[in-house]
Homo-oligomer: A and B are copies of this chain.
Amino acid sequence: MAEIGGQMINARAVQLSAEIISNKKVGAYHHMVFAVGEVAANCRPGNFVAISVGGASSSLVLRRAFAIYRASLRSDGMGLLELVIAPQGSGSKWLVAQEPGDRVDLIAPLGTAFGIPKEPINALLVGGGYGSAPLFSLAETLKARGCRVDMVLGASTAGKIYAPLEGKRSVNSLTITTDDGSAGIAGRVSDVLPNLIAEHEVDVIYSCGPMAMLEAITLISQKADVLHQCSVEESMACGIGVCMTCVLPVEGDDGVIRMTRSCVEGPVMDGNKVLWNKSREIPDGVWGK
Contact = CB atoms under 8 A, between A and B. Distances in A.
A169 interface: no
A90 B58 CA distance: 10
A93 interface: yes
Contacts of A54: 57
A20 to B, nearest CB: 15
Contacts of A55: 55, 94
Interface string A70-103: 0000000000000000000011011000000000
Q: How large is the interface on A (under 10, 10 to 19, 20 to 34, 35 or more residues)?
A: 10 to 19
A165 interface: no
A60 B58 CA distance: 8
Give this chain's copy count. 2
Contact of A60 (B57, B90, B94): B57
Contact of A94 (B57, B91, B93, B94): B57
Contacts of A94: 55-57
A73 to B, nearest CB: 32
A59 interface: yes
A259 B55 CA distance: 38
Nearest to A60: B57
Contact of A58 (B53, B59, B91, B93): B59
A138 B53 CA distance: 43
A91 B91 CA distance: 20
A110 to B, nearest CB: 23
Interface of A: 53-60, 90-91, 93-94
Given A54-B57, A55-B94, A57-B91, 13 more contacts: A53-B57, A55-B55, A56-B90, A56-B93, A56-B94, A57-B58, A57-B59, A57-B60, A57-B90, A57-B94, A58-B58, A58-B59, A59-B59
16 contacts: A53-B57, A54-B57, A55-B55, A55-B94, A56-B90, A56-B93, A56-B94, A57-B58, A57-B59, A57-B60, A57-B90, A57-B91, A57-B94, A58-B58, A58-B59, A59-B59
